[in-house]
A and B are shown apart, each in its own frame.
Chain A
Amino acid sequence: MLKDFFQKKRKYATIPSEQAKKDIPEGIMTKCVKCGTIQLSKDLEKNLKVCTSCGYHFKLSARERVALTLDDGRLFEYDHDMVSKDPLQFPFYEEKLIKQMEKSGLNDAVVTGEGTINGYPVVIAVMSYDFFSGSMGSVVGEKITRAIEKATQKKYPLLIFSTSGGARMQESILSLMQMAKTSAALKKFHNEEGLFISMCTDPTLGGVSASFAMLGDINLAEPGAIVGFTGRIVIEQTIRQKLPSNFQTAESTMKHGQLDKVVQRSELRDVLTQIIEIHADKKVSS
């Protein structure tokens, strides 16, 4: 079934994300999911998809994130064509994969590659919540690992934007093992004195937070982003108590010592540049 899909896809090949973007009917007005304020979509867009009233940071797709982060939005993409298999022949997995591809215009939940930020080259990986809730299966694990290995080789700083509901259940144990694979690659990267900036966006949970997302030299997050291991609903069911409304928000997670800094979307490029600059000249001058 996946094979048929790819054949079809090839016929319409090279209709990348631009088309997918246009296919989604954009309303003139957008309602903030947080405060309910209705605002012109155009204004929201101009404000980097941050609510003009309450400052809520809307979720961004991987493409949008790349456009905002890299110089001229230019990404030299790695492994664009890598796609999931259905190794366990899990019920309805192929159907779901196809649906997610059509919906998001992506081949899986992460886009990786290299680009520059204010002229500094970086290896970048950007997860997308609109593909399978950003769940990590073999493709996410492999693409992230390859990106880490590229950064190790090229001695570039590594920047990962995480967003994930957790593991890709349809790949079961193989998805769990991606946590070990990515973390092991980071061990080598850190041994080589590489700089890893981990940026947690809403939400970063489960197997992604319990592996690479929490292993940055510097862990950043977007305002209001949910960052944790187990999701609120499961915890509330377990402890049979309601959790406070700010539970696991980036601000609260930082207060508990798990994050270095919460960064506004509008300031991110500057903050990243500053961090990279400080590490650019790491040799002690003699």
Chain B
Amino acid sequence: MAGELSFEQPLIELQQKINELKQFSQEKDIDFSEEIVRLEERYKKLEENLYKELSASEVMQMARHAMRPTSLAYIHEILDSFIELHGDRLYGDDLAIVGGIGKVNGIPVTVVGHQKGKDTKDNIARNFGMPHPEGFRKALRLMEQANKFGRPIITFIDTPGGYPGGAAEERGQAEAIAKNLMEMAGFRVPIISIVIGEGGSGGALALGVANKVLMLEHSIYSVISPNGAASILWKDANKADEAAEAMKITARDLHELKVIDGIIPEVLGGAHRDVKEQASYMKKEILHHLTELMQQSEEEIIQGRYMKFRNIGEFMFISDEETQQS
């Protein structure tokens, strides 16, 4: 196991014990096989339960795992062929967002996704997956192109958020995000979005106005990072765990709130344990939704997407409260 997280400690300890016992039994030539089998069964059970019952802050650690597969990793596994396209034609090529054209099982698609780095150097080049306006505008350009040619769009969401910097502000971070939200709402082609890691705030939503929004089991989607919320709400960034629970940021929470359409299970221990296997789960879901959406008319595609977001929100009327009580 590599890249263990603190909550995985019990598993690691048990594995160590098993290894020691195996070694001991070999060295001393004593038969511990029954004991070993028993421990291995315990390990399996522990492992299964551990990942099923992760707390919100543990899911957050999984979502931000340094080895978590990125958009490009999934693109290469899921697409038959892929040509990466670059630039927003206005300012530059933001590497925090990748995109291009290709085919999934023979179906032409445009794919756009936030891109975190594989290592420190890559992360610096990609600004840790935090786009500037030119990133969002590159995404929009590629999606508009897809709309022109009638190609479905697949987006992968994985960002802490739009980059909070002076230059990003000056080039219109707010406008760039807003424009994506508005234009995505009007596209005549099906859009499928999958949150693969971290769905942080407006910068995540800027790729997320889709017909189907799906999340990987151990990914998160939130309006502000739990650390940020804790420091604003309780003036204490150390209360991030508490904030993570209260904010309902896990795939399961969002599914219950009817904000997302489905959860894609992860390989045991997290997507990073087996990218190929994980990608195969995702490909299956993508193809399922693509075939369904591609049977709809353009009007149904646009209206379906509109109503999906139109219906999100919880409110009431004082007058209703009065009628109910009198």
Contacts and interface: CB of A to CB of B under 8 A. Distances in A.
B314 A10 contact: no
A42 B16 CA distance: 78
Contacts of B224: 167, 169
B172 A258 contact: yes
A176 B314 contact: no
Given A177-B309, A181-B310, A229-B169, 7 more contacts: A6-B322, A169-B223, A180-B312, A187-B183, A210-B175, A210-B177, A258-B175
A88 to B, nearest CB: 5
B248 A169 contact: no
B29 interface: no
A272 interface: no
Contacts of B39: none
In the complex, which of the residues A83, A190, A191 has the most CB atoms of chain B within 10 Å of its own CB atom? A83
B165 A238 contact: yes
Interface in A1-29: 3, 6-7, 9-10
Contacts of A179: 177-178, 181, 202, 205
Interface string A216-251: 000000000001111000110011010100011000
B321 A6 contact: yes
A227 B175 CA distance: 11
B19 to A, nearest CB: 42
Contacts, number: 197
A81 B319 contact: yes
Determine the interface band of chain A, counting residues with CB < 8 A from chain B: 35 or more
In the complex, which of the residues B164, B165, B186, B254 has the most CB atoms of chain A within 10 Å of its own CB atom? B164
Q: Is the interface of A mostly helix, strand, loop or mixed?
A: helix
Contacts of A247: 166, 169
B185 interface: yes
B178 A235 contact: no
Contacts of A145: 310
Contacts of B222: 172-173, 176
B271 interface: no
B316 A186 contact: no
B249 interface: yes
Q: Lowest 5 CB-CB distances: which A-B pairs, in order? A: A184-B185, A138-B313, A183-B181, A87-B314, A230-B164
A102 to B, nearest CB: 14
A79 B316 CA distance: 10
20 contacts: A7-B321, A10-B322, A81-B319, A141-B313, A167-B223, A169-B229, A169-B233, A169-B247, A173-B254, A174-B312, A183-B182, A188-B306, A206-B202, A209-B174, A210-B175, A210-B181, A210-B202, A214-B174, A214-B179, A239-B165
A189 to B, nearest CB: 10
Contact of B185 (A138, A178, A183): A183
B246 interface: yes
B325 A235 contact: no
A207 to B, nearest CB: 6
Contacts of A190: 182
A238 B228 CA distance: 12
A84 B178 contact: no
Contact of A83 (B178, B181, B232, B316): B316
A171 B247 CA distance: 8
Contacts of B315: 82-85, 138-139, 142
A141 B174 CA distance: 17
Given A138-B315, A184-B310, A230-B162, A213 B174 contact: yes
A91 B244 CA distance: 12
In the complex, which of the residues A81, A141, A172, A206 has the most CB atoms of chain B within 10 Å of its own CB atom? A172
B318 A81 contact: yes
Nearest to A228: B169
B259 interface: yes
Contact of A229 (B168, B254, B305, B321): B168
B248 A229 contact: no
A97 to B, nearest CB: 12
Interface string B280-313: 0000000000000000000000000110011011
Contacts of B208: 180
A176 B313 CA distance: 10
B250 to A, nearest CB: 10
Contacts of B183: 187
Nearest to A79: B317
A212 B182 CA distance: 9
B182 A215 contact: yes
B318 A181 contact: no
A190 B178 CA distance: 14
Interface in A144-194: 145, 167, 169, 171-181, 183-188, 190-191
Contacts of B209: 180, 183-184
B110 interface: no
A91 B243 CA distance: 10
A90 interface: yes
A239 B174 contact: no
Given A87-B314, A88-B247, A173 B223 contact: yes
B173 interface: yes
In the complex, which of the residues B186, B223, B305 has the most CB atoms of chain A within 10 Å of its own CB atom? B223
A112 interface: no
A81 to B, nearest CB: 4
Contacts of B162: 210, 229-230
A260 to B, nearest CB: 12
Contacts of A241: 166
B82 to A, nearest CB: 28
